[in-house]
Chains A and B, each alone.
Chain A
Amino acid sequence: MHAQAVPDVPSEAVPPMLSVRDLRTYYRANRLGIKREVKAVDGISLTVRRGEIYGLAGESGSGKSTLLNCVAGAIRPPMEIVGGDIDFAFLSGYGGLHRAPPAEVARVRWRHLSYIMQGSMNVLNPLRRLRSVFVDFAYPHVGGTRQQFERQLHAHLARLNLDRSVLSAYPHELSGGMRQRATVALATVCRPDLIIADEPTTALDVLVQKEVLGMIRGIQREMGSSVLLVTHDMGVHAHVSDRLGIMYAGHLVEEAGTAEIFRNPLHPYTKHLISSLPRIGDDAPRCGLGGAPPNLADPPLGCRFHPRCPLAMKVCSGEAPAMLETAPGHRVACFAYNQSGGA
C-alpha cells in the first residue's frame, strides 16, 4: 500500500521537511510562589520526510498538541521551549520558528507551513463572515484577482464537500463539522509544503472524513507536501499515515511504518492502543487502560509507563529506556526489547 510508496531509508540528498531534535517543552507556572513545571514534551526527536504523512497518536495529555504548537511557533507563556531544535526544509539554521526573525516567520507562514489547531471548529472569528476570513488568511499568498481567488475557493470548498454558501455565513451558523472543514480549507488552500494538522477530522462523519483526508492526500501528492497528522482515530492512521509515532507522557515511545506498527506493535502501550479498539459486529467487552494517567508535573521515574505496564520489570522503575532501533525504521523505547539495561 501507500506505506511502501515512501522509501524507508531517507536518502542523503534530500533533507527532511521537518526535523525535531531532542525537543523539551515545559509549562512553567509560578503561582503564589508555588512553582509547577509540567513536562509536556520531554526529549522528542523525529523527522518528517518530504512527501510523507507522519502520524502521531498517543494518550490524551501526552503532549501531542504541545509538540505541534512548538513546531508551528505558537509559543505563549506559560509554555516554554527549554531545549532542542526544530528545522524545516524551508527555514533552517534558526532552530525553530520561535527563534527566527519575524520577517522569516512571516515569509513561511501559510505559504510553506500551515497549521490546523486542535479544536479547529473553534478558531474562527465569531464576528467575521467566512469569506473575509479566507481573504485575510489566504488571499495575500495566492494572488491573482479576487474573482480568480473566489473561483479557486469554490473549487476547494467543493473538494471538502462544502457548499459555497458557507462563505457568507458566520461561524455560529455552521455545524461543528462544517466549521472544522472550513478551517481545513483555510489551511490547505495555499497548498503549503508542510501541513500540521491536530485532530482535523474529529467533528466529521465517516463519509465526509474520507473526503477531507482524500483532499489532504491529494494536495500532498500533487505538491509533494508533507503532513504531520495527529489523530486519535487509529483507523485514520491505518489508512492515511505513512509512518506513525506513538506518544506517551511527553515521550515518543515507538515509531515505525504504519503497516509495521499495526502488524507488529512492540511497546506495551501501542499494543494496548491497537487491541482495545471496538469494532462493529464485535460484541466482546473491552476496557480502557487501567490505572491513572501520569501526572506530567510529577512524572513517574524510569519508564513513564511502568505503573500501568503489564510487562514492567525492576529496571523499568529506575531507568528511562532509550529510543532504540529494533528493525530498520522501527524504533521503540522499552526495556523489553534489546536494551542493554533490560532483559
Chain B
Amino acid sequence: MLRIASYEAADCGDPGSFLRHGGALMSGYFAFLLRRLGQFGLVLFIGINVAYVITHASPIDPVEQSISAVTSFGNTAPDAVEQMRSALRELYGLGATPLDQYRLFWSRILRADFGPSLSAFPTPVSTLIGRALPWTAGLLAVSTIIAWGLGNLLGGLAGYYQKSRTLRLMGVVAIGLHPIPYYILALLLLIVFGYLWPVLPIAGGSAMNLPQSLTMEFVASVLQHAILPALSLILIGVGSWFIGMRSLVSNIVTEDYVVYAELAGVRPWRILSSYVMRNAMAPQLTGLAMSLGGIFNGAVITEKVFGYPGLGSLLVDAVYAGDYGLVLGVTTISIVAVSAGVLAIDLLYPLLDPRVKVN
C-alpha cells in the first residue's frame, strides 16, 4: 500500500517513493490536465513518426509492388504500365521531395486517411481499418472488461473471505490456469468445442451467408462466433486479475483502517465495498486502462487462431503482403490506443486517490 513519507524513502532520498500528497487545487488539476494532454500529443507525434520512418525505410517499393501485382495477371502494354506508375507515385505522394511527402503524410493522417491499401487496391486503408476495428474492439474490449470485472470481484471476495472453500478452490483453479500459454488454451478450446463436441463455430466473426445488418439473426451469429475467442481471453484474464486482486486485498484487510472498521461493527458488505475493494480499485483500474490500451497487441494471436476478422488478422495479412500503408494505419491506431490508455490512467489516478498530488 501507499506508505507516505516512510523511512524506506528516507533511505533512498528518492522523491518518487515519498509520494507527495496534498491539496490538489482544482485549477491545479486543469493545469495538470493540459500538461498531460500536451504530453499525449507529443507521444503520438513521436510514435507515428517512428512508424513512418520504419515503414518508409523498408526496401519494398509500394508502387513497384502494386504494378507487379497488376502485371502478373497478364500482359500490359509498357505504356500503360508507365502511366500507372506515375499515377501511383502521385497517389502515394512519392514523386515529391521527402519534405513534401512528409507533409502530405501528416495532412492525411490528421484526416485519418492512410491512402489506398495495396493488397486490397484500391480500397482505402481507413475503410479496411474501419471494417476491422469494431470486431477487435468488440471482442477484445468486452472480454477484457468482463475478465477484469469478474477477476476482481472474485479475487476481492477470495482475499476478504479467506476461509471460504469455494473461493479457495477458485484460487487453485486460477493459479492452475494462469501459467498455461494463451495459444494452447485457445487451441484446446477449439479442439474441444469445434471438433470433439462441435457445438460452436471455429472461425470467422459471423456466419458467412448473413448480410451485416442489425437483424436478430446476425447478432445471434456474431455472439455465437464470439463465444470461443472471448472464453479463451476471459479464462486467461480472470486468472491473472483474480490472483492480483486477491493478494492486494489480503494485504488491505490487515490495514488498520479495515481492522478498525471491523472492530466498530461496520457492516461486512460496507467494509468489503468501501474499505477493501474501493482501496484496491485505484491500482486495478490502472491495470485495466493499460490492458485496454494494449488489446491491439493481443489481437494478433486471438484473431489468427480463431480466424476472427479484426485488426490483428488485418495486420498480419498486411505484413505478408508488404502493404505498408495498411501496416502504418494499424500501427497508428494501436499507438493512439496505448497512449490513450496511459493518458486515462494519469488523469484518473488523482481522482481515485486523493493523496496523489497532481504536480
Residues of A within 8 A of B257 (CB): 123-126
Shortest distance in angstroms between A96's beta carbon and chain B's nearest beta carbon?
A: 14
Q: Is the CB of A126 within 8 A of B355?
A: yes
Cβ contact of A136, chosen from B4, B261, B263, B282, cutoff 8 A: B261
Please list 30 pairs of residues, one from A and one from B, whose beta carbons are closer than 8 Å in the complex, sorted by A's number. A74-B259, A76-B259, A106-B265, A114-B264, A117-B260, A123-B259, A123-B260, A124-B260, A125-B258, A125-B261, A125-B275, A125-B279, A126-B2, A126-B257, A126-B354, A127-B278, A127-B279, A127-B353, A127-B354, A136-B264, A136-B267, A136-B270, A137-B264, A137-B266, A140-B267, A172-B4, A172-B22, A172-B354, A173-B354, A186-B264
Task: Check if B274 is an interface residue, CB within 8 A of chain A.
Answer: yes
Q: Is the CB of A123 within 8 A of B4?
A: no
Q: Quick one: closest B residue to A132, CB to CB?
A: B274
B23 within 8 A of A: yes
Shortest beta-carbon distance, A143 to chain B, in Å?
A: 15
Q: Which residues of A contact B89 (CB under 8 A)?
A: none
Q: What is the CA–CA distance of A18 and B101 in the complex, to the nearest angstrom?
A: 87
Report B144-196 residues with CB < 8 Å from chain A CB.
none
| Interface residue? B256 (CB, 8 A) | yes
B21 at the interface (CB under 8 A from A): yes
> Complex formed: what's the CA distance from A127 to B352 in Å?
8
Q: B261's contact among A114, A126, A137, A170, by CB below 8 Å, is which?
A: A137
Within 8 A of B (CB), among A100-122: 105-106, 109-110, 114-115, 117, 119, 122
Closest residue of A by beta carbon distance from B2: A126
Whether A125 and B274, one on each chain, are in contact in the complex, defined by CB atoms closer than 8 angstroms, is yes
The contact string, 1 if C-beta is below 8 Å from chain A, for chain B 326-355, is: 000000000000000000000000001111
Q: Are B279 and A110 in contact (CB under 8 A)?
A: no
The answer to whether the Cβ of A61 comes within 8 Å of any Cβ in the partner chain is: no
Q: Which residues of B contact A119 (CB under 8 A)?
A: 256
Q: Measured between alpha carbons, how far is A127 from B270 in the docked complex, in Å?
A: 14
Q: Collect the chain B residues with CB atoms within 8 Å of residue A127's CB.
A: 278-279, 282, 352-354
B190 to chain A, nearest CB (A): 44
The residue of chain A having its C-beta at the shortest distance from the C-beta of B281 within the complex is A127
Check B274–A170 contact: CB distance below 8 A: no
Q: Which positions 123-141 of chain A face chain B at CB distance < 8 Å?
A: 123-128, 132, 136-137, 140
Residue on B with the closest CB to A97?
B263
Q: Mark A23-55, 1 if CB is under 8 A from B, else 0.
A: 000000000000000000000000000000000
- Give the CA-CA distance A127 to B354 in the complex, in Å: 7
Whether A73 is near chain B, meaning CB under 8 Å from some CB there, is: yes
Whether A72 sits at the interface, judged by CB under 8 Å, is: yes
- Among A117, A128, A186, the most chain B Cβ lie within 10 Å of the Cβ of A128
Question: Whose C-beta in chain A lies nearest to the C-beta of B275?
Answer: A125
Q: Inside 8 A of A126's CB, which chain B residues have their CB?
A: 2, 257, 279, 354-355
Q: How far is the CB of A75 from chain B (nearest CB, A)?
A: 11
Interface centre among A105, A115, A124, A125 (most CB of B within 10 A): A125
Contact across chains for B274 and A117 when beta carbons are under 8 A apart: no
Determine if A173 and B23 form an interchain contact, defined as CB atoms under 8 angstroms apart. Answer: yes
* Chain B hits for A72, CB < 8 A: 263
Size band of the A side of the interface? 20 to 34
Cα-based distance from A172 to B264 in the complex (angstroms): 21
A186 vs B266: C-alpha distance in the bound complex, in angstroms?
12
- Residues 22-78 of B contacting A (Cβ, < 8 Å): 22-23
Chain A 63-83 interface mask (CB, 8 Å, partner B; 1/0): 000000000111010000000
Closest-by-CB residue of A relative to B21 is: A172
Chain A residues packing against B (C-beta within 8 Å): 72-74, 76, 105-106, 109-110, 114-115, 117, 119, 122-128, 132, 136-137, 140, 170, 172-173, 186-187
A72 to B21, CA, bound (A): 33
Q: Which of B23, B265, B352, B354 contacts A110 (CB 8 A)?
A: B265
Determine whether the beta carbon of A109 is less than 8 Å from that of B263. yes
- What residues on A are CB-neighbors of B21 within 8 Å? 172
Extra inter-chain contacts (10) besides given A110-B265, A125-B258, A126-B279, CB under 8 Å: A76-B259, A117-B259, A123-B259, A127-B278, A127-B279, A127-B354, A136-B270, A170-B355, A173-B23, A186-B264
B240-270 vs A, Cβ < 8 Å mask (1 yes, 0 no)? 0000000000000010111111011111001
The answer to whether B355 touches A73 (Cβ under 8 A) is: no
Q: How far is the CA of A170 from the CA of B24 in the complex (A)?
A: 12
Q: Give the nearest-CB partner of B274 in chain A.
A: A128
Q: How far is the CB of B351 from chain A (nearest CB, A)?
A: 11
Q: Which residues of B contact A115 (CB under 8 A)?
A: 263-264
* Chain B residues closer than 8 Å to A132, beta-carbon distance: 274
Q: How far is the CB of A109 from chain B (nearest CB, A)?
A: 3
- Residues of A near B260 (CB, < 8 A) are 117, 123-124
User: Complex Cα distance A94/B260, Å?
Assistant: 23
- For A172, the chain B residues whose CB sits under 8 A away are 4, 21-22, 354-355
Question: How many Å lie between the Cα of A115 and that of B256 in the bound state?
Answer: 13
Residues of B within 8 A of A122 (CB): 256
Docked Cα-Cα span, A32 to B127, in Å, equals 64
Residues of B within 8 A of A170 (CB): 354-355
Shortest Cβ gap from B115 to chain A (Å): 49
Query: What is the chain A residue whose CB lies nearest that of B4?
Result: A172
Pairs of residues from A and B, 7 with the lowest C-beta to C-beta distance, nearest first: A109-B265, A123-B260, A125-B257, A123-B256, A170-B354, A137-B264, A136-B266
* B264 partner, pick from A76, A109, A128, beta carbons under 8 A: A109
CB-CB nearest in chain A for B262: A74
Give Cα A115 to B261, complex, Å: 11
Q: Which residues of A contact B264 (CB under 8 A)?
A: 109-110, 114-115, 136-137, 186-187
Minimum Cβ distance to chain B for residue A121 (Å): 10
Q: Give Cα A109–Cα B262 distance, bound, in whole angstroms.
A: 9
Residue in B256, B265, B270 with the greatest tally of chain A CB atoms within 10 Å: B265
Instruction: Provide the bound-state CA to CA distance between A136 and B272, in Å.
Output: 12
Nearest to A133 among chain B residues (CB) is B261
**How far is B259's CA from A40's CA once the two chains are assembled, in angstroms?**
20
Chain B residues with CB under 8 A of A110: 264-265
State the CA gap A117–B260 with chains docked (Å). 8
Q: Is B354's CB under 8 angstroms from A74's CB?
A: no
Taking the closest CB of chain A, its distance from the CB of B187, in whole angstroms, is: 43
